[in-house]
Each structure stands twice: as C-alpha cells, then as structure tokens.
C-alpha cells in the first residue's frame, strides 16, 4: 500500500461544474497492465450568497432609529465569514457595521441617525470568499417638520356653502 498525493488543483480543472455535486474518479495502472479505480464525491459551491434586504425600506422616514436587516440564502450559512452593512451618508464618510446572525436574519440597529440621505450596501461572503456586495437601498431620514406661516383666508365670515381660498407659506 502506498499513498499517492496528486498535485493541488481546482474543481474546474477536474471537470466539475461551477456549483453542485461532482464525482471524481482516480485511475491507477500497474506494470502488468491491470487498472484499478476509485471515486470520491465533492460538493462545489461556486455561488455567492443571495441577499434580500428586509429593512430599511427605500424612501423617507422620520425615525432616527434604523434597523438594517437582510436574509441570506447560502449553501453553508453558518460558515459565512463577513456580514457587513456599509452606511454611506450623502454628506459624510462611509462607515461599516457588522451584522449579527439571528437564525438566518442578519441585522444591526442604529438608534441615533441624523437627518440625511443614506445608501446602505449589504456585503456578505461565504466560507470560500465569494462576496455578494450588489444589494443596496437608499433612504432619507428627515425629522424636521415643515414650517407653516402666514395662513390667510380671502374671507373670514362665510356661510356653510361658501367657497373660500386659504393660502399659506410652507417651507420644508
């Protein structure tokens, strides 16, 4: 019995596809012309994790508390090594926050975000370093109420069916 070590190679070089199960057969011939073989099976993961952003939603909010949450579909989710949300305020420097895995729902909460327009980019990789950094959402935090001034009416003494015009200055 002797062990033969084959040169290191990739699944693709052995004829395996980009993802899925692949059977590898090793053949050996002896000096008498006899041939033996054995097989092994490997599972190839050639796909980056799928990321679905569940919050925040695109659009406007008046809350300074923001939840950053995503679900991840991955062959081996427990082996993901990087789960980060990159938060990019329109008027400042980008910063990253690590996401915590809560049974497949990855999240982070910021309790005090100032008014601004933000883009949150979710970056998740798997144990093989295949990164999905294509999912992002843009949202606005606006906690300032509009300023309403100079409210006037064309008539201050009207009947129940009278038409009146009301004007106001509104600044947001």
Q: Is the pLDDT of residue 152 over 70?
A: yes
As a whole number of angstroms, the distance between CA 49 and CA 37 comes to 36
Whether 126 and 74 have beta carbons less than 8 Å apart is answered as: yes
Q: What are the structure tokens assigned to 124, written together? A: 């998740």
Q: What are the structure tokens assigned to 118, written together? A: 């933000």
pLDDT at residue 148, as a whole number: 95
Q: How far is CA 59 from CA 34, 39, 86, 115, in A?
A: 71, 55, 18, 13
Q: Is the pLDDT of residue 130 over 90?
A: no
At 77 the three-state DSSP class reads: helix
Q: Is the pLDDT of residue 131 over 90?
A: no
Q: Is the pLDDT of residue 2 over 90?
A: no
Cα dihedral sign for 76, 79, 81, 85? positive
Q: Residue 134 phi/psi, 5° resolution?
A: -105, -5
- Choice between 160 and 57, residue whose per-residue pLDDT is larger: 57
Q: What is the mean pLDDT of residues 40-51?
A: 87
* Residue 122, burial from CB neighbour count under 10 angstroms (0-12, 13-18, 19+): buried
pLDDT at residue 145, as a whole number: 92
pLDDT digits over 25-45, tens only? 888 888 898 999 999 998 888
Q: Residue 53 phi/psi, 5° resolution?
A: -75, 125
């Amino acid at each position: 019995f002797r062990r033969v070590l084959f040169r290191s190679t990739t699944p693709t070089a052995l004829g395996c596809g980009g993802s899925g199960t692949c059977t590898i057969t090793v053949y050996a011939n002896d000096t008498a012309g006899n041939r033996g073989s054995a097989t092994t099976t490997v599972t190839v993961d050639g796909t980056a994790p799928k990321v679905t952003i569940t919050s925040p939603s695109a659009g406007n909010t008046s809350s300074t508390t923001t939840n950053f949450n995503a679900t991840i579909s991955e062959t081996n989710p427990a082996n993901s090594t990087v789960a980060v949300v990159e938060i990019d305020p329109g008027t400042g420097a980008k910063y990253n926050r690590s996401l915590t895995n809560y049974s497949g729902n990855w999240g982070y909460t910021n309790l005090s975000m100032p008014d601004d327009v933000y883009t949150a980019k979710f970056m998740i990789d798997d144990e093989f370093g295949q990164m999905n950094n294509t999912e992002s959402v843009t949202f606005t935090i606006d906690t300032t109420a509009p300023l309403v001034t100079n409210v006037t009416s064309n008539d201050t003494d009207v009947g129940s069916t009278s038409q009146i015009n009301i004007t106001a200055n509104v600044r947001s």
